[in-house]
């Protein structure tokens, strides 16, 4: 049986520690080990950071919704927001073998999310809400 939690957060990077704590707690309840929980937390941190900074322009009067569903050996995390349009499918993976001096700043968040989670999907609902759906299985 799936369990579900839902939270609303202001677009404030000060919320990232709390979000990471929630993701870690739920990852443990779903039966993930320490390394897998760290991966989940990193993916959620990167996705929420992008939402706060790029989508919602660090405006704490704007909010996003974090929804987490889980059952044994599976966790699904969704971030719902009405920020700036963004098509992550149009971004190329960074050249992680290039020297740091030769890499542009940014661009690693989407890459990490894709690498750390088993499924990543970007959706838009009929009201213009953008939804990032991330799924991790054990």
| Full-model pTM | 0.87
Output the pLDDT for position 17: 98
Domain ranges of the chain: 3-137
Please write the tens of the pLDDT for every residue from 22-44: 999 999 999 999 999 999 999 99
Q: 3-class secondary structure for the chain?
A: CCEEEEEEEECCHHHHHHHHHHHHHHHHHCCCCHHHHHHHHHHHHHHHHHHHHHHCCCCCCCEEEEEEEEECCEEEEEEEECCCCCCHHHCCCCCCCCCHHHCCCCCHHHHHHHHHCCEEEEEECCCCCEEEEEEEEC
- At the topology level, CATH places domain 3-137 in Heat Shock Protein 90 (3.30.565)
Please write the tens of the pLDDT for every residue from 52-67: 999 999 999 999 999 9
């Amino acid at each position: 049986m799936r369990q579900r939690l839902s939270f609303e957060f202001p677009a404030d990077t000060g919320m990232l520690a709390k979000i990471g704590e929630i993701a870690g707690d739920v990852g443990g309840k779903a039966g993930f080990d320490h390394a897998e929980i760290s991966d989940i937390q990193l993916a959620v941190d990167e996705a929420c950071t992008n939402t706060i900074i790029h989508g919602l322009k660090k405006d704490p009067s704007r909010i996003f919704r974090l929804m987490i569903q889980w059952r044994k050996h599976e966790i699904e995390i969704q971030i719902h927001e009405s920020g700036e349009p963004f098509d992550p499918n149009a971004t190329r993976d960074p050249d992680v073998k290039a020297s740091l001096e030769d890499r542009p700043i940014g661009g690693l968040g989407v890459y990490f999310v894709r690498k750390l989670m088993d499924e990543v999907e970007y959706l838009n609902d009929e009201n213009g809400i953008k939804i990032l759906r991330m799924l991790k299985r054990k």
